[in-house]
Amino acid sequence: MAPMDADQDLAAILRDSGNRMTGPRRRVWEVVRLADRHLTAEEIAAKVHANDPTVNLASVYRALALFSDLELVRESNLGDGDAARWELAHPDEHFHLVCRRCGAVDHHVGRLVEEIREHLAGGHQFHAENVELVVTGLCRRCAAKSGQPITH
Amino acid sequence: MAPMDADQDLAAILRDSGNRMTGPRRRVWEVVRLADRHLTAEEIAAKVHANDPTVNLASVYRALALFSDLELVRESNLGDGDAARWELAHPDEHFHLVCRRCGAVDHHVGRLVEEIREHLAGGHQFHAENVELVVTGLCRRCAAKSGQPITH
DNA sequence: TCGCAACTGCGAATTATTCGCAAAAGATTG
DNA sequence: CAATCTTTTGCGAATAATTCGCAGTTGCGA
């Protein structure tokens, strides 16, 4: 998908939802779309600034909130309590493996989330919309050297 | 379990882990132990204040952090991004159903979390310690009156 | 090209949580 | 049961992520 197509797509989605295509939104969209992993708002802002240093952090937050409403991106709070992360809202359901020692976040695509949805669909008096599954523990590398002091 | 027993238990656990039994800790423990649902730090502090208004909010946070280390309580971030909630770390695995409209949090005990653990135990290069599953959507009551404006 | 609502940058406000520090209180020992 | 040593507390200030208010700017339909 060439950049311009993605631009056109975004412009169309925005227009159809009564919003405008703007510089900050285009820049944020580029960054999130090309990211290979979760990014915090600060990280996104930093990458945006590489192209256009005039874009404000508040506008990054506003763009992300809008994209989230439009279900273009997905916000997750990965348990560490601190900063939220954003990623492209691709259709594959997945969950996150967060290493409590080194902080690495691994995506894991599989049927698990679907199974949870199915489980909930049967009999539960709850209309599930969003399933957020975060597993914390030790990644392979950190499990290997377990016992050593934690250095962040 | 009479209050004094729980006190004794807490005192023993604290002593064995090289910590001291103190007034603030006892009060926070009482509140969390008797709570029938998740509480935020502010809510816990308010209930603690009913018994002893001199206990500081910072001490509530410190007590909760300690209890969390000792695996007496469990902290969850229920996706809304804002304040964390605490609950007793009972052995039943469970997950949370959060209504995005009225904010109600429902506990759900079942085999689901165990199944997730089993799923992860097989073949994944990750040592899972904590599974946090938060499902957001609409509770029965709110799903019924869906379409009406959201009033928090 | 005009006009106006939508959007932005800026800086200040909010809110949950943590920190530093001096004073207070538990445990331990004599 | 007093002395002491260490942990813990209360307090208020510091942090940090996110949001808000507002005046100025900009996208875009007419």
**pLDDT tens, residue by residue, B3-13:** 456 677 999 99
The three-state secondary structure class of A147 is coil
Residue A86 burial (CB count, 10 A)? 24
Residues in a beta bridge with A130: B136
Q: How far is A13 from chain B (nearest CA, A)?
A: 23
Over range A24-48, report the average pLDDT.
95
Residue B89 makes CB contacts below 8 A (sequence gap 6+) with B71, B72, B73, B74
Does pLDDT of B145 surpass 70? no
Which of A68, A76, A80, A133 would you mutate first to test chain B, the one with the most B CBs within 10 A? A133
Over range A111-115, report the average pLDDT.
80
Q: At B134, list the tokens.
A: 């938060």
Sign of CA dihedral B88, A75, A103, B131: positive
Over range B14-32, report the average pLDDT.
96
The three-state secondary structure class of A129 is strand
Over range B52-70, report the average pLDDT.
97
The set of strand C positions with any atom below 7 Å of a protein CB reads: 6-12, 15-20, 25-28
Could B81 and A79 be called an inter-chain contact, meaning their C-beta atoms sit closer than 8 Å?
Answer: no
Torsions phi, psi of B85, nearest 5?
A: -125, 150
Q: At B126, list the tokens.
A: 């990750």
Over range B62-91, report the average pLDDT.
88
Does pLDDT of A116 surpass 90? no
pLDDT in tens, A44-72: 999 999 999 999 999 999 999 999 999 99
User: Who has greater pLDDT, B79 or B10?
Assistant: B10
Does pLDDT of B77 surpass 90? no
Query: How many CA atoms does the CB half-sphere of B120 hold within 13 Å?
Result: 25
Residue B87 burial (CB count, 10 A)? 19
Over range A112-137, report the average pLDDT.
80
Could B129 and A108 be called an inter-chain contact, meaning their C-beta atoms sit closer than 8 Å?
Answer: no
Does pLDDT of A40 surpass 70? yes
Residues in a beta bridge with B26: none
CA of B71 vs C1' of D7, distance in Å? 21
Q: What is the pLDDT at residue A152?
A: 38
E strand segments, chain A = 39-40, 73-76, 85-88, 94-99, 105-109, 126-139
User: Who has greater pLDDT, A81 or B31?
Assistant: B31
Does pLDDT of B151 surpass 70? no
Q: What is the average pLDDT score of chain A?
A: 84
CA of A26 vs C1' of C10, distance in Å? 21
Q: A107: closest CA among A81, A83, A120, A88?
A: A88
pTM for the structure as a whole: 0.85
Residue A112 burial (CB count, 10 A)? 19
Partners of residue A77 in chain B, C-beta under 8 Å: 77, 79, 81
Q: What is the pLDDT at residue B64?
A: 98
Could B116 and A120 be called an inter-chain contact, meaning their C-beta atoms sit closer than 8 Å?
Answer: no
Task: Give the single-character DSSP code of B138.
Answer: E
Does pLDDT of B130 surpass 90? no
Per the CB < 8 A criterion, the answer to whether A61 and A41 are in contact is yes
Q: What is the pLDDT at residue A146?
A: 58
Q: How confident is the model at residue B105 (pLDDT cuts 50, 70, 90)?
A: confident
Could A132 and B136 be called an inter-chain contact, meaning their C-beta atoms sit closer than 8 Å?
Answer: yes
Q: How far is B36 from chain A (nearest CA, A)?
A: 20
Alpha helices, DSSP H, located in chain B: 3-16, 23-34, 41-51, 57-69, 112-121, 140-144
Q: Give me the amino acid identity at B97.
A: L
Alpha helices, DSSP H, located in chain A: 3-16, 23-34, 41-51, 57-69, 112-121, 140-144
Q: How far is A78 from chain B (nearest CA, A)?
A: 9
Over range B67-90, report the average pLDDT.
86
Does pLDDT of A118 surpass 50? yes
Over range B62-74, report the average pLDDT.
96
Query: Residue B99 region, left (φ>0) first, then alpha (ψ -120 to 50), else beta?
Result: beta
Q: What is the pLDDT at residue A147?
A: 53
Using a pLDDT cut of 70, give the percent of chain B over it: 86
